[in-house]
């Protein structure tokens, strides 16, 4: 299982946190997603053989947030 911290802009409240965590968790291969609102990032634990960084970024952007690349 791989781990990665993705920087995300625009998450300000608990609902933002839930949206991003929910969108990532819905992807096949994502085991765990945990948003840190103060740090503006999301820590993900995922299976590299099933999901990659660009699909995770896309899922976050679909929720209306900007991923820092």
Binding interface with ligand 9UX (CB under 6 A): 12-13, 15-16
Reading the block at residue 24, the tokens are 């990532």
**Is-contact 33 42, C-beta < 8 A?**
yes
> Is the Cβ of residue 18 or residue 54 nearer to ligand 9UX in the bound state?
18
CA distance 30 to 25: 6
Cβ 19 to ligand 9UX shortest distance, Å = 7
Cβ 38 to ligand 9UX shortest distance, Å = 14
> Is the Cβ of residue 46 or residue 65 nearer to ligand 9UX in the bound state?
65
């Amino acid at each position: 299982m791989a781990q990665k911290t993705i920087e995300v802009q625009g998450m300000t409240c608990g609902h933002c946190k839930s949206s991003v965590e929910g969108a990532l968790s819905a992807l096949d291969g994502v085991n765990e997603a945990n948003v840190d609102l103060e740090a503006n990032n999301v820590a993900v634990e995922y299976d590299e053989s099933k999901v990659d960084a660009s699909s995770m970024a896309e899922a976050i952007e679909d929720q209306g947030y900007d991923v820092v690349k």
